[in-house]
């Protein structure tokens, strides 16, 4: 029900628009409240839970991953079977195997057992009997149906109790076509009806006896109303089906029951599931005769159907149409199971519908499925179960799975092609909103299904424990407020919690909602699914620990930030402001899978992302994986500046998803760069499958066109051959998003390894310019080195120059690997005629290449260093004609700048002002702060004093005062400036009781205005230290110099006459916190701690002493890892750890009190030695030899010492 019984104690919208599109956020309008009445006493059908199929060896790929990496394999199993960590499926549908034989003579099979093929038959040949009766069964058993048996046992370990074994075909020898293929006319032989009935019943018996797996349901057919010529199947008419059920299968099963075959195995007999047609209409036509006749229907427990071609449930529930019609009343006599359906196309429901598009893997698709489930469960009669076709799959390109296993891209031949990576689609979580919370045995109860347009509601209860689940689906474009009125509900539940799946959330556990007067009210966001359950002490966790590329990333819902950021209204759900240079937000554990924003087998490495932002000063966003400073940059958004911050636009980029980049699971950091503290507002980030021009110099780098026109061998007239192939497909950027075909280049027939595939780039690259080269390689032999070379040839085609610009060693055979680099082109020093770029490897066997690019590379400018100049009143400032640009690599260079025109009134009086400048080739704005001073000779003295050097993170004071001011002073107006990139201002403080800081205000970042007054004696003599200004060097400040500057100071006397005096500056050097001594000391202490043993023996340490040392070590590690720790913190921690280490070392046991015979223990042997010296005293001449026996050191060896020795022995 709400929680699985076994676990109760544990418990796009795609914005790929032009860069200039903008819009104002729509004001949120509070929705009107609608009411859904949920009636506990109005009971409907009993639910059997939800499940999935693993037919056609879908377990093989999972097992291959598990065998190679049990952690990764367990993660996949958790996602589908665990209730804590996944969607908690309750039913497993498997293939009741037929052996797959399509040729009676050769015993050849259809399909491929490694990923998409038949399963074993228990009766391979008519005259041989069942496999477990054969003499070689003991040796064959471990590999019989190996993957299928494995997944069923794993499911049992998670608590699954319902196993549905469904047959696609009888074994080949029972069929008229002597093949398991479901060709036209391929029927069950008339004389094999009893054999097939025995086959089905013995399958259930044998699986329990041989493997310990209880088959709870069996099905004799699958879509047998139609032919299926390429895989297992057989054709049967409605009359033949009735005959088989009534006269063969039913009686055979009943006979086994009567004979106690199931009882002796400790299992219930399996229930029969039929007719299993392709769609609802087909199932009714095929099954109606046997379902309506009690003579045959008495044997059938579950009516099963698929939905291919059925659209009846798309628009709402069905209601019984009486004795006839599309939804006849006789269905009430059976449990109703939907056992197979998979298409995501919203235009139709055929099996061939296109499922490749990114939009068919997102929340829109997930909500569609949630509506379908709701409609089927709330029909009259209502379905009792829904089974997904392949919860985890990897075949072909249908893209219908909940989870898609990534493959190498090589042909799905007789070998494993899984990589261990996988894509999780949004439908996994919306399906889980049902499967995780509806238990077998739960009862659906009545609820107002559509309280408002777009909202679809169903409800369920567990009568055994009074728990319940209410599932609300909002497929509309607007949020909806719904009040749930709980009629006749038992007392006990005081509040509910919800599990919300939306565009950006995966079953997020939302805050409890109080039940008041028998109802609770919630907001259901647009395009979302929420499951509500009572709040208890065993609620399941949310599933938010994993993110995926089919979800949006809301900036305000990040998993970590450098901050602090402000959340403001704007965008879709709010936006982040206060975005400054070097700040970042983190999104944890994003599953990029194999880098595809697609549901199919191709278009890997085709992933785009949109940043939805409103520009202010502008800048750029680096997308880094794993670390905000050193992680690989997989994409960069450029956000042009000079905006108002109220127009949100979409900025698209392509994401690097090669195996060295955004591939598999990664933490993603959005690192912001630009000048100032208000670069832009960030709403969200969205993934998509758009293909953006790379700007590559190379032609046809994806080989979607024939390579002959643009590509050639590196050199020579013979040898190396190449052509495009679909055999080792990687991606297909230029083709339609729905394409299931992708080409790569296949290089073969090489006589020399270096003679790979090449393209002429003569005169296309410029000396001393940077370029980025990238390519994907799949060698056919293990351990080679992939290379990208520049090769120069002379006029006769002879190679005169070769330079490797990118390489990667130890490439894995038949696996795509990325090779890339950034290089500076240097023209060959030797004369040449033709320059080529060559893609090759160190082997001569076949090599596949795809997605090769050569792009001019421009390093991102992180920031423009601010300029500070001063001038005298009336003198135009002299601004530099270049500014310092800081690049993402940390390097710096001087770039030309053109400053805005300066109005002479700006420097007509003392003060300061800012000038903006345009930097050549950079979107960032340069700034210069100009301080205007009084002319020399008219300066009244002000001063600042403070430390000359501070460390990052350190708090320090700068003192302001006057020296030699000769006028009366009652009030003062002064402005202080500082560099906000390096300093934070904390607070001012008065240094005299007669000097008061009346008020101050940060008038702009790095500029504070103070209003101060003088009292008492300071009014006539205001000189001396007046005020301290407390600052903190930012923990992440770059080492270097910084100034605190007092601009013009205005003094006022008792008559209100103002006197302006010049400001002053204090120069401070910021150095990084030095932690090397501490980290070395921590390593030393950890080594001592690890090797130390607590005990009572010599060389050991007293019990409990290690804990004391460990506590100090932990504290030191915290300081060492704390980016905000100051040098004082580090020094204090170093001292504390030094003292603790010295103390610990002094505690080592050098002797054991009472160990008289030095055998490293205290025993009766030591007592006997003491007895021998009993009665000795310090006056005896041999006292020195026995003095160590005087335990209480009173100068006597007496009964007290004996008693102490005895106590030591007993306590040893």
User: E strand or H helix at 1199, and its extent?
Assistant: helix 1199-1211
> Mean pLDDT over residues 204-226, rounded?
98
Q: pLDDT digits over 1041-1055, tens only?
A: 899 999 879 999 999
Q: pLDDT digits over 426-469, tens only?
A: 999 999 999 999 999 999 999 999 999 999 999 999 999 999 99
pLDDT at 10 over 70: no
1075-1146: which CATH architecture?
Up-down Bundle (1.20)
> Parallel, antiparallel, or unpaired for β 619-625 and 560-561?
unpaired
Opening angle at CA 740, ends 738 and 745, nearest 5? 125
Q: Which has the closest alpha carbon to 571: 426, 683, 705, 724?
A: 683
pLDDT at 18 over 50: no
Which pLDDT score is estimated for 157?
A: 98
Q: Where in the chain is the domain with CATH 3.20.20.80?
A: 49-435
Lowest mean pLDDT among 207-211, 274-278, 368-372, 1126-1130: 1126-1130
Kindly report whether the global pTM for this prediction surpasses the value 0.85.
Answer: no
For residue 373, the SS3 value is: helix
Which pLDDT score is estimated for 28?
A: 39
Instruction: Give DSSP secondary structure letters for 1007-1020.
Output: EEEEEEEE-GGGGT
pLDDT at 163 over 70: yes
34-46+443-533: which CATH architecture?
Sandwich (2.60)
Which pLDDT score is estimated for 1075?
A: 85
Structural tokens at position 972: 């003062």
Which pLDDT score is estimated for 75?
A: 96
Distance separating alpha carbons of residues 791 and 809, to the nearest angstrom: 20
Lowest mean pLDDT among 292-301, 450-459, 914-923: 914-923
Which pLDDT score is estimated for 91?
A: 99
Opening angle at CA 337, ends 278 and 474, nearest 5? 95
Q: pLDDT digits over 1190-1207, tens only?
A: 888 888 888 888 888 888
Q: Which has the closest alpha carbon to 180: 217, 228, 146?
A: 228
Q: pLDDT digits over 691-738, tens only?
A: 888 889 999 998 888 887 899 999 999 999 998 888 776 665 555 555
Which option is the CATH number for 711-856: 3.30.870.10, 2.60.120.260, 3.90.1150.220, 3.10.20.30? 2.60.120.260
Lowest mean pLDDT among 262-276, 451-465, 982-996: 982-996
CATH of domain 547-688: 2.60.120.260
Q: pLDDT digits over 843-852, tens only?
A: 999 999 999 9
pLDDT at 352 over 60: no
For residue 865, the SS3 value is: coil
Which pLDDT score is estimated for 303?
A: 99
Which pLDDT score is estimated for 440?
A: 98
417 or 975: which carries more pLDDT confidence? 975
Q: Where in the chain is the domain with CATH 2.60.40.1180?
A: 34-46+443-533
Q: Where in the chain is the domain with CATH 2.60.120.260?
A: 547-688, 711-856
Lowest mean pLDDT among 712-726, 782-796, 875-889, 1100-1114: 875-889
CATH of domain 942-1071: 2.60.40.680
Q: Where in the chain is the domain with CATH 1.20.1270.90?
A: 1075-1146
pLDDT at 21 over 50: no
Opening angle at CA 1119, ends 1114 and 1123, nearest 5? 140
> Mean pLDDT over residues 998-1019, rounded?
93
pLDDT at 971 over 90: yes
Q: Which has the closest alpha carbon to 531: 465, 449, 436?
A: 436
Which pLDDT score is estimated for 940?
A: 53
Q: Are 863 and 673 in contact (CB under 8 A)?
A: yes
**Close Cβ partners of 332 (under 8 Å, ≥ 6 residues apart):** 320, 381
Encode burial over 643-672: b for 16+ CB neighbours within 10 A, e otherwise.
bebebbbbbbbbbbbbbebbbbbbbbbbbb
Instruction: Give the length of the chain.
Output: 1212
Neighbours of 281 (CB within 10 A): 15
pLDDT at 601 over 70: no
**Close Cβ partners of 44 (under 8 Å, ≥ 6 residues apart):** 378, 382, 443, 444, 445, 446
Instruction: Give DSSP secondary structure letters for 1118-1161.
Output: HHHH-TT--HHHHHHHHHHHHHHHHHHHHTS-SS-TT-TT-SSS
pLDDT at 936 over 70: no
Which pLDDT score is estimated for 413?
A: 54
Which pLDDT score is estimated for 1207?
A: 83
Q: Are 766 and 801 in contact (CB under 8 A)?
A: no
Neighbours of 754 (CB within 10 A): 18
What is the average pLDDT value for the chain, to the nearest integer? 89
Banded model confidence at residue 342, pLDDT cuts 50, 70, 90 = confident
Structural tokens at position 876: 């135009």
245 or 954: which carries more pLDDT confidence? 245
CATH of domain 49-435: 3.20.20.80
Helices (H), strands (E): how many in the chain?
Answer: 17, 61
Banded model confidence at residue 598, pLDDT cuts 50, 70, 90 = confident
Q: Are 312 and 326 in contact (CB under 8 A)?
A: yes
Opening angle at CA 77, ends 72 and 81, nearest 5? 155
Banded model confidence at residue 624, pLDDT cuts 50, 70, 90 = very high
> Parallel, antiparallel, or unpaired for β 608-615 and 648-654?
antiparallel
Most confident of the ranges 150-154, 814-818, 960-964: 150-154
Lowest mean pLDDT among 335-349, 542-556, 616-630: 335-349
Q: Is the Cα torsion angle 754, 756, 761, 767 positive or negative in sign?
A: negative
> Mean pLDDT over residues 825-835, rounded?
95
């Amino acid at each position: 029900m709400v929680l699985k019984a076994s676990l109760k104690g544990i418990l796009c919208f795609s914005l790929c628009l032009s860069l200039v599109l903008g819009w104002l956020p729509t004001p949120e309008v509070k929705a009107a409240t609608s009411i859904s009445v949920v009636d506990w006493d109005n009971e409907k059908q009993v639910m059997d839970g939800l499940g999935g199929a693993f037919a056609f060896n879908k377990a093989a790929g999972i097992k291959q991953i598990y065998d190679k990496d049990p952690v990764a394999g367990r993660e996949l199993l958790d996602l589908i079977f665990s209730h804590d960590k996944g969607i908690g499926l309750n039913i497993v549908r498997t293939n009741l195997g037929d052996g797959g034989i399509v040729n009676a003579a050769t015993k050849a099979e259809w399909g491929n057992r490694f990923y998409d093929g038949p399963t074993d038959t228990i009766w391979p040949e008519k005259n041989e009997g069942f496999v477990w009766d054969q003499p070689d069964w003991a040796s064959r058993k471990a590999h019989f149906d190996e993957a299928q048996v494995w997944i069923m046992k794993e499911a049992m370990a998670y608590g699954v109790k319902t196993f549905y074994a469904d047959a696609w075909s009888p074994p080949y020898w029972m069929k008229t076509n002597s093949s398991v293929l479901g060709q036209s006319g391929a029927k069950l032989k008339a004389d094999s009806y009893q054999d097939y009935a025995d086959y089905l019943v013995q399958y259930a018996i044998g699986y329990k006896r041989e493997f310990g797996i209880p088959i709870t349901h069996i099905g004799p057919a699958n879509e047998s109303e139609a032919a299926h010529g390429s895989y297992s199947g057989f054709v049967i008419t409605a009359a033949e089906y009735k005959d088989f059920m009534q006269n063969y299968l039913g009686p055979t099963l009943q006979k086994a029951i009567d004979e106690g075959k199931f009882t002796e195995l400790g299992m219930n007999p399996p229930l029969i599931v039929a007719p299993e047609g392709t769609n609802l209409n087909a199932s009714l036509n095929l099954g109606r005769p046997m379902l309506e006749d009690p003579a045959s229907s008495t044997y059938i427990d579950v009516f099963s159907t698929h939905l291919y071609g059925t659209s009846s449930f798309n628009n709402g529930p069905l209601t019984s149409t009486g004795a006839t019609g599309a939804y006849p009343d006789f269905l009430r006599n059976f449990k109703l199971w939907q056992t197979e359906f998979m298409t995501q196309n919203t235009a139709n429901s055929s099996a061939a519908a296109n499922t490749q598009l990114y939009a068919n893997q997102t929340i829109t698709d997930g909500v569609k499925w949630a509506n379908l489930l709701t409609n089927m469960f709330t029909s009259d009669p209502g379905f009792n179960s829904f089974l997904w076709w392949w919860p985890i799959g990897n075949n072909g390109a249908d893209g219908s799975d909940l989870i898609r296993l990534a493959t190498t891209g090589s042909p799905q031949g007789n070998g494993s092609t899984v990589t261990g990576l996988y894509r999780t689609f949004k439908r996994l979580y919306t399906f889980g909103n049902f499967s995780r919370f509806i238990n077998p045995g739960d009862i659906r109860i009545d609820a107002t299904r559509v309280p408002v347009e777009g909202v679809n509601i169903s409800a369920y209860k567990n009568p055994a424990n009074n728990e319940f689940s209410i599932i609300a689906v909002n497929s509309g474009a607007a949020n909806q407020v719904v009040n749930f009125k709980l009629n006749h509900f038992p007392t006990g539940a005081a509040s509910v919690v919800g599990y919300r799946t939306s565009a950006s959330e995966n079953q997020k556990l939302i805050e409890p909602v109080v039940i008041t007067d028998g109802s609770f009210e919630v907001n259901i966001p647009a395009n979302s699914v929420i499951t509500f359950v009572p709040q208890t002490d065993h609620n399941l966790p949310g599933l938010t620990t994993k993110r995926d590329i089919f979800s949006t990333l809301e900036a305000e819902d990040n998993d970590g930030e450098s901050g602090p950021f402000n959340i403001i209204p704007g965008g879709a759900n709010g936006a982040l402001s206060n975005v400054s240079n070097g700040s970042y937000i983190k999104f944890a554990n994003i599953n990029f899978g194999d880098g595809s924003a697609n549901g199919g087998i191709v278009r890997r490495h085709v992933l785009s992302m949109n940043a939805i932002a409103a520009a202010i000063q502008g800048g750029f966003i680096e997308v880094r994986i794993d670390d905000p400073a050193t992680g690989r940059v997989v994409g960069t958004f450029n956000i042009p500046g000079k905006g108002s911050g109220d127009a949100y636009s979409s900025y698209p980029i392509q994401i690097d998803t090669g195996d060295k980049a955004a591939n598999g699971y990664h933490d993603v950091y959005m690192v912001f760069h630009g000048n100032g503290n208000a670069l832009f507002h960030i709403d969200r980030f969205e993934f998509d499958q758009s293909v953006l021009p790379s700007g590559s110099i190379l032609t046809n780098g994806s080989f979607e066109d024939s390579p002959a026109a643009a590509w050639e061998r590196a050199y020579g007239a013979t040898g190396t051959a190449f052509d495009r192939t679909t055999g080792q497909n990687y991606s297909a950027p230029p083709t339609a998003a729905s394409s299931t075909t992708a080409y790569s280049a296949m290089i073969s027939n090489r006589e020399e390894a270096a003679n790979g595939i090449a393209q002429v780039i003569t005169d296309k690259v410029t000396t001393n310019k940077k370029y980025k080269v990238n390519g994907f390689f799949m060698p056919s032999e293990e351990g080679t080195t992939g290379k990208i070379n520049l090769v120069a040839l002379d006029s006769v085609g002879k190679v005169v120059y070769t330079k490797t610009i990118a390489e990667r060693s130890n490439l894995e055979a038949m696996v795509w690997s990325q090779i890339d680099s950034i290089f500076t082109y240097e023209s060959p020093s030797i004369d040449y005629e033709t320059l080529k770029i060559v893609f090759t490897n160190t082997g001569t066997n076949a090599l596949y290449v795809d997605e090769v690019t050569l792009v001019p590379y421009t390093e991102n400018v992180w920031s423009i260093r601010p300029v500070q100049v001063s001038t005298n009143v009336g003198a135009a400032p002299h601004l530099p004609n270049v500014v310092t640009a800081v690049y993402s690599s940390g390097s710096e260079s001087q770039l030309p700048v053109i400053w805005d025109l300066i109005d002479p009134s700006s420097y007509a009086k003392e003060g300061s002002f800012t000038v903006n400048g345009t930097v050549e080739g950079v979107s960032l704005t340069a700034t210069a702060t100009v301080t205007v001073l009084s002319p020399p000779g008219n300066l009244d003295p002000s001063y600042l004093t403070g430390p000359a050097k501070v460390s990052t993170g350190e708090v320090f004071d700068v003192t302001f005062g006057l020296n030699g001011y000769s006028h009366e002073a009652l009030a003062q107006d002064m402005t202080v400036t500082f560099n906000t990139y390096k300093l934070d201002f904390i607070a001012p403080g008065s240094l005299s009781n007669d000097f008061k800081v009346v008020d101050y205000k940060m008038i702009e970042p790095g500029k504070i205005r103070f209003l101060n007054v003088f009292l008492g004696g300071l009014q006539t003599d205001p000189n001396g230290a007046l005020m301290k200004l407390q600052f903190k060097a930012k923990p992440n400040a770059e080492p270097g110099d910084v100034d605190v500057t007092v601009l013009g100071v205005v003094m006022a006397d008792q008559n209100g006459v103002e006197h302006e005096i010049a400001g002053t500056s204090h120069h401070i050097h910021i150095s990084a916190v030095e932690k090397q001594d501490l980290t070395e000391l921590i390593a030393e202490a950890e080594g001592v701690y690890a090797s130390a043993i607590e005990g009572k023996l010599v060389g050991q340490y007293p019990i409990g002493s290690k804990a004391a040392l460990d506590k100090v070590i932990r504290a030191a590690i915290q300081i060492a890892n704390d980016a905000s720790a100051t040098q004082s913190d580090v020094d204090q921690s170093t001292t504390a750890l030094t003292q603790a280490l010295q103390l610990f070392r002094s505690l080592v046991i050098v002797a054991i009190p009472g160990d008289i015979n030095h055998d490293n223990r205290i025993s009766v042997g030591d007592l006997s030695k003491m007895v021998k010296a009993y009665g000795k005293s310090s006056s005896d001449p041999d006292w020195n030899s026995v003095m160590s026996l005087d335990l209480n050191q009173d100068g006597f060896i007496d009964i007290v010492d004996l008693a102490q020795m005895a106590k030591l022995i007993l306590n040893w």
